[in-house]
Amino acid sequence: MRVTDQPPIETLRDILGICRALYVEWAPYAGPIEMDELMAVGSDLREAYQRLLKAKPGTAAQRAAWAQADQATQRLGVLVGEHTSTKAIVRAAGGRLGVLPVAPRFDSDAKVRERVKRG
């Protein structure tokens, strides 16, 4: 990968944040195998991020750190699959910040739309 082809380091930081939010969201119900893998992926992402902060552009150290980040991100994608919704991740992360869940708004026209849909 050429230096210009590499994503900004902030992208890796964002993926690490997603991994942390998944940990919060999954902790109450995920099994030990999934949690162990998620923690290992998070550890690899954090290590790659730290290595990238120290590495000079175009060096073997930088390429190795990006390779580690790429492998960890692929593992995260396999682990997540299609089992996690964005809504659940945002709710879990917001809960750690003290954000109260938003109650769904009452929709006075919902019954009318449902009747129209049924015909």
- Residue 113: the pLDDT is 77
Q: What is the DSSP letter of 5?
A: G
The model's pTM is: 0.70
Between 11 and 115, name the one with better pLDDT. 11
Q: Cβ contacts of residue 53 below 8 Å, gap of 6+?
A: 9
Higher-confidence residue of 105 and 73: namely 73
110: pLDDT strictly greater than 70:
yes
Residue 48 has pLDDT above 70, yes or no: yes
CA atoms within 13 A on the CB side of 115: 5
pLDDT for residue 42:
95
89 in Cβ contact with 56 (< 8 Å)? no
Average pLDDT over residues 35-48: 95
SS3 100: coil
Copy the structure tokens of residue 111. Answer: 């019954």
